[in-house]
Protein backbone atom coordinates (compact mmCIF):
# COMPACT_ATOMS: atom_id res chain seq x y z
CA UNK A 1 0.00 0.00 0.00
CA UNK A 2 1.24 3.46 -0.82
CA UNK A 3 2.19 5.94 1.88
CA UNK A 4 -0.81 8.12 2.69
CA UNK A 5 -0.15 11.77 3.57
CA UNK A 6 -1.04 12.55 7.18
CA UNK A 7 -3.80 14.96 6.11
CA UNK A 8 -5.47 12.26 4.01
CA UNK A 9 -5.17 9.71 6.81
CA UNK A 10 -6.75 12.20 9.22
CA UNK A 11 -9.58 12.82 6.75
CA UNK A 12 -10.37 9.10 6.52
CA UNK A 13 -10.33 8.77 10.34
CA UNK A 14 -12.73 11.70 10.65
CA UNK A 15 -15.01 10.25 7.97
CA UNK A 16 -15.03 6.90 9.78
CA UNK A 17 -15.91 8.60 13.07
CA UNK A 18 -18.86 10.34 11.39
CA UNK A 19 -20.05 7.02 9.96
CA UNK A 20 -19.87 5.40 13.40
CA UNK A 21 -21.84 8.26 14.95
CA UNK A 22 -24.57 8.32 12.32
CA UNK A 23 -25.13 4.70 11.28
CA UNK A 24 -26.36 1.75 13.30
CA UNK A 25 -24.72 -1.29 11.72
CA UNK A 26 -25.61 -3.44 9.93
CA UNK A 27 -27.35 -1.03 7.55
CA UNK A 28 -27.82 -0.42 3.86
CA UNK A 29 -25.32 2.12 2.55
CA UNK A 30 -25.56 3.91 -0.79
CA UNK A 31 -22.31 4.48 -2.69
CA UNK A 32 -22.40 7.05 -5.51
CA UNK A 33 -19.68 7.86 -8.00
CA UNK A 34 -19.12 9.63 -11.28
CA UNK A 35 -16.48 8.14 -13.57
CA UNK A 36 -15.34 8.53 -17.15
CA UNK A 37 -16.80 5.76 -19.29
CA UNK A 38 -13.36 4.15 -19.69
CA UNK A 39 -13.10 3.69 -15.88
CA UNK A 40 -16.39 1.83 -15.40
CA UNK A 41 -14.92 -1.67 -15.36
CA UNK A 42 -12.29 -0.69 -12.79
CA UNK A 43 -15.02 0.61 -10.50
CA UNK A 44 -17.30 -2.38 -11.10
CA UNK A 45 -14.43 -4.70 -10.16
CA UNK A 46 -14.36 -3.15 -6.69
CA UNK A 47 -17.97 -4.21 -6.14
CA UNK A 48 -17.41 -7.70 -7.55
CA UNK A 49 -20.67 -9.53 -8.25
CA UNK A 50 -22.74 -6.94 -6.39
CA UNK A 51 -25.10 -5.16 -8.82
CA UNK A 52 -24.57 -1.50 -9.58
CA UNK A 53 -26.83 0.98 -11.36
CA UNK A 54 -25.19 2.91 -14.19
CA UNK A 55 -26.53 6.01 -15.96
CA UNK A 56 -24.72 7.79 -18.77
CA UNK A 57 -24.36 11.56 -19.02
CA UNK A 58 -26.02 13.32 -21.95
CA UNK A 59 -22.87 13.01 -24.10
CA UNK A 60 -21.96 9.58 -22.75
CA UNK A 61 -18.49 10.54 -21.57
CA UNK A 62 -19.26 10.16 -17.89
CA UNK A 63 -21.26 7.62 -15.96
CA UNK A 64 -23.13 7.88 -12.68
CA UNK A 65 -22.65 4.67 -10.71
CA UNK A 66 -24.72 3.74 -7.65
CA UNK A 67 -24.41 0.67 -5.45
CA UNK A 68 -26.61 -0.15 -2.44
CA UNK A 69 -24.98 -2.62 -0.11
CA UNK A 70 -25.53 -3.92 3.38
CA UNK A 71 -22.53 -2.83 5.40
CA UNK A 72 -21.57 -4.24 8.80
CA UNK A 73 -19.04 -1.62 9.88
CA UNK A 74 -17.51 1.71 9.00
CA UNK A 75 -14.30 -0.22 8.23
CA UNK A 76 -16.07 -1.89 5.29
CA UNK A 77 -17.33 1.44 3.94
CA UNK A 78 -13.96 3.16 4.23
CA UNK A 79 -12.20 0.21 2.59
CA UNK A 80 -14.52 0.39 -0.43
CA UNK A 81 -14.08 4.15 -0.76
CA UNK A 82 -10.30 3.84 -0.48
CA UNK A 83 -10.29 1.18 -3.19
CA UNK A 84 -12.52 3.36 -5.37
CA UNK A 85 -10.25 6.36 -4.83
CA UNK A 86 -7.63 4.57 -6.93
CA UNK A 87 -9.89 4.53 -10.01
CA UNK A 88 -8.78 7.03 -12.63
CA UNK A 89 -10.62 10.38 -12.49
CA UNK A 90 -13.32 9.16 -10.10
CA UNK A 91 -15.58 11.59 -8.28
CA UNK A 92 -16.95 10.18 -5.04
CA UNK A 93 -20.24 11.67 -3.94
Q: Which pLDDT value is given to residue 8? A: 84
The domain limits of the chain are: 6-92
Determine contact, residues 27/71, Cβ cutoff 8 Å.
yes
Choose among 57, 46, 34: nearest CA to 83. Answer: 46
Judge: domain 6-92, CATH 2.60.40.420. Answer: no
- Which residues lie below 8 Å from residue 15, measured CB to CB, with a gap of 6+? 78, 81
pLDDT tens, residue order, the chain (93 aa):
344 455 788 889 999 999 999 999 999 999 999 999 999 999 999 999 999 999 999 998 999 999 999 999 999 999 999 999 999 999 999
pLDDT of residue 83: 94
Mean pLDDT for all residues in the chain:
92
Confidence (pTM): 0.87
Beta-sheet strands, E only, within 1-93: 27-36, 53-56, 62-71, 91-92
The phi, psi pair for 50, rounded to 5°, reads: -70, 130
Amino acid sequence: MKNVPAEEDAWWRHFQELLDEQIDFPDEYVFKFIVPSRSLNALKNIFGQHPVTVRASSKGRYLSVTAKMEMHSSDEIVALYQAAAKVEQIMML
